[in-house]
A and B are shown apart, each in its own frame.
Chain A
Amino acid sequence: MRGRSITFWLIFGGVLFAALAINSFYGLLLTDHDPFLAIIIGINSAIYFFGIAEKKSDVRKRYSHLLVGSFFAYVLSIYQVLVVFSVWLEGLLISSCLLTIEALNLPLIISGFAISFLFDFAKKQIETNNF
């Protein structure tokens, strides 16, 4: 992966999660209004953006931001799935459905799983190349 590609993916990740953060903060599209979660998603976005702040020549540092950012996104997706599952289970127990489509925050779950592929890729790059 050349330098320019990394920059692309860093910007992509940063913007995507910034959007998801704003989405969660205001509860815009397919998601509930959850300011705290929004902050956490924002932190994920920051991981990518700080990667861009690294010197262009420092490839390994940029890769590491990609690596951790993607893993974190993956963790967020799993977190969301677990939370949703618990809410559903609780609803089951008190015999009233507590879930709404918005509570799922599908945009977060899908994005997280999608971008986690970058994690495997970045990991391979770091292990096979001698930066």
Chain B
Amino acid sequence: MENHRDGIESRESTIALLGNPNVGKTSIFNALTGSRQIVANWPGVTVEKRAGVMKHHNHTVDVIDLPGTYTLGATSLDEKIARDFLVNEKPGVAMVIGDAVNLERSLYLLLQVLELRGDVVLAVNAVDEARKAGFEIDRNELSKQLGIPVVVTSAVTGEGIEELKNTLVKSTKSGSHVHYLFSDEVEAHLRDLSERIRGNPSLAGIDERWLSIKLLERDDEVQKITGITLDYDFSVEIAETRYKYIKRILSTSVKGKEKIGWNFSEAIDHVLTHRFLGILIFLAVMYIIFQLTFTISGPLSIMIEELLGGLGRALGGLIGIDWLRSLVVEGIIGGVGAVLVFVPNIFILFLALGILEETGYLPRAAFVIDRIMYAMKLSGRSFISMLLGFGCNVSSIMSTRSISEPKERIVTILVSPFISCSARLPVYVLIAGTFFGARAGVVIFFLYVLSIVITVLSALLINKLFFKGEPSTLIMELPRYRKPRLSSIILYTWNKGRHFLEKAGTIILGASVVIWVLSYFPSEGTGSFAAMIGKSLEPLFIPLGYTWEMITSLVFGIAAKEVIVSSLTTFFGNPSVTGTSLGVIRTLITPEVALSFLVFVLLYVPCMPTLAVIKNETGSYKYVFFSVFYSLAVAYIVALIVRLVGGLL
């Protein structure tokens, strides 16, 4: 990142934030940068990168939020990103944010950073909680022992933030010190290795002691760049030495006795992870979230529909040219509007997810249903993402960001499209209502059950196909519960929602125009290009028995599945609120074909925004193609089976 303000490239004015997950790093980042932040991706990967600017006393500094990690090894993508940034970009200040209540673990990361470089600042956060738990941190003593500035903060109360900003803008250059020595044997090895490294000019910018330590820890990356591989492994001893040093520091810098007995978090956990109540409460929470989403978004969606309708009429009245009017009103506003109507739904779901995450309940929910997910070679965390899929597949795929295991993430992403999203519901209601009357409800329920079954089976199949059927590892922290901050939740919801709008909005806009063109020219309705496409594909669908109108609407449905409804009504009848005006279709196909059609709609190709997000989140087109062909195949086969079996009944 460059300092554009005086045109000189200066990495000096960059502060990098590091810390364990769940220590409040994001809150500190928000406190330092305010709303001056942008969220993007680290290049080439799908890990969130948060960058912002801190303005304090005439200083302007870039702040970058590195992913939360426990160590600076290279065992996970997050660690790699954090470490690479420190090593390659060499930010002016590296600030480690620690947790006052779990200082020991936070210091472990700090020591790893100190092994690498100087100019480190330690911010001990959540100091208010530490006090409540009965201990006091002597920051002066801590600072003396570590040889770096130490500030105690509480992102919640605001304590120490001002002082932290002051400390960060003060420029004091310092090299890295050695804080502790390992055993004689290890130190001897370190001396040898440092010699060898010193001779290598390509490693000039990196602290040689750090490189040597990493070599003794058998770090893959470091072995690669130094070209040195050892047969001995001192990682256990090195880790123990660090912890011993930490215990020594803490014995003098942390005062007070920890209160025995339960704290608030433990008390809550006793019930929320209770052997019997845990799952019940989880189901209750899920029910409440989904019900709320549907009920609250109801009126909001109606409002949006009215607004768009009004806009359509207004613009329609203004435009004189027929085709332009049709393009704007039916094509653009109609097409994009179909997705906009879902915006309240999406935002509320993300809001709910944000609250669950901020309060700390999410890991507990994952813990409680993990065993069931394990049978699918997934974990509890995936379940949460999949649940979002019932609202919109795009949001469920976007939410897989926080699944730490890459294999699991990809499987979850690839099966998400089979979860029956809310866009498919209007199609179900229309068709089922027309063909099955009072029994429509049963049919729709069957579709949801089928959706779940196919999702589960696909998860197993895809895991076997791509990852040899190995289940992912679960090492998950259960952080303390905390009161969610309104600003954090709003920021979170806004970021995620905006991402959804950008992705879905741009794709849908393009697709809507294309669909409009195809159905308007050369002549509207049965003479259009769209109809030609549908008719040409008819032979392929003979076993299924679909008419060309249905096929065409399926093609359009690729843009967004709810478009199927509008396509069908355009071809078959006058739009009406109840949808039974589609009566004419009953003369064209039989009930089992209708059911098979519903199954096809459920399972076939993910809609375009979903495909776009799949590409985005997996980073490769391979998975997009797989998704398209796999879902088409599954849809065709299952729909065929349904038709044949249905015909027998």
B281 near A90 (CB under 8 angstroms)?
no
Q: Give Cα distance in the complex from A71 to B283, angstroms.
A: 16
Q: Is the contact region of chain B dominated by helix, strand, or loop, or is it mixed?
A: helix
Report A25-52 CB contacts with B as 1/0, cut-off 8 Å: 0000000000010001001101100100
A64 near B281 (CB under 8 angstroms)?
no
Expressed in whole angstroms, the minimum distance between the Cβ of A55 and any Cβ of chain B is: 13
A47 near B277 (CB under 8 angstroms)?
yes
Whether a CB of chain A sits under 8 angstroms from the CB of B272 is yes
Please, which residues of chain B bring their CB within 8 A of the CB of A36?
A: 287, 291
Please, which residues of chain B bring their CB within 8 A of the CB of A106?
A: none
Report A79-105 CB contacts with B as 1/0, cut-off 8 Å: 100110011011011100000000000
Q: Give the nearest-CB partner of A60 in chain B.
A: B262
B298 near A126 (CB under 8 angstroms)?
no
Please, which residues of chain B bring their CB within 8 A of the CB of A60?
A: 261-262, 267, 270
Whether a CB of chain A sits under 8 angstroms from the CB of B259 is yes
Q: Give Cα distance in the complex from A69 to B306, angstroms.
A: 41
CB-contact partner of B288 in A40, A89, A93, A94, under 8 A: A40
Q: Give Cα distance in the complex from A47 to B277, angstroms.
A: 7
A131 near B261 (CB under 8 angstroms)?
yes
Please, which residues of chain A bring their CB within 8 A of the CB of B288?
A: 40, 75-76, 79
Q: Give the nearest-CB partner of B271 in chain A.
A: A68
Q: Give Cα distance in the complex from A63 to B267, angstroms.
A: 8
Q: Give the nearest-CB partner of A53 in chain B.
A: B276
Known contacts A36-B287, A83-B292; decide if A89 and B271 are in contact (CB<8 Å). no
CB within 8 Å of A: which of B269-305? 270-272, 274, 276-277, 280-281, 283-284, 287-288, 291-292, 295-296, 298-299, 302-303
Please, which residues of chain A bring their CB within 8 A of the CB of B259?
A: 130
Q: How large is the interface on B (under 10, 10 to 19, 20 to 34, 35 or more residues)?
A: 20 to 34
A127 near B132 (CB under 8 angstroms)?
yes
Please, which residues of chain A bring their CB within 8 A of the CB of B306?
A: 93
Q: How large is the interface on A (under 10, 10 to 19, 20 to 34, 35 or more residues)?
A: 20 to 34
Whether a CB of chain A sits under 8 angstroms from the CB of B318 is no
Expressed in whole angstroms, the minimum distance between the Cβ of B264 and any Cβ of chain A is: 6
CB within 8 Å of A: which of B562-579? none
Known contacts A75-B288, A83-B291; decide if A126 and B281 are in contact (CB<8 Å). no
24 of the cross-chain contacts (CB-CB < 8 Å) are: A43-B277, A47-B281, A50-B277, A60-B267, A60-B270, A64-B270, A65-B270, A67-B271, A69-B271, A75-B288, A79-B288, A83-B292, A83-B295, A86-B296, A87-B295, A89-B299, A90-B298, A92-B299, A123-B264, A126-B267, A127-B132, A127-B263, A130-B259, A130-B261
Could you tell me which B residues sit within 8 Å of A by CB distance? 132, 259-264, 267-268, 270-272, 274, 276-277, 280-281, 283-284, 287-288, 291-292, 295-296, 298-299, 302-303, 306
The 6 closest A-B pairs by CB, nearest first: A64-B267, A89-B299, A68-B271, A90-B299, A130-B261, A86-B295
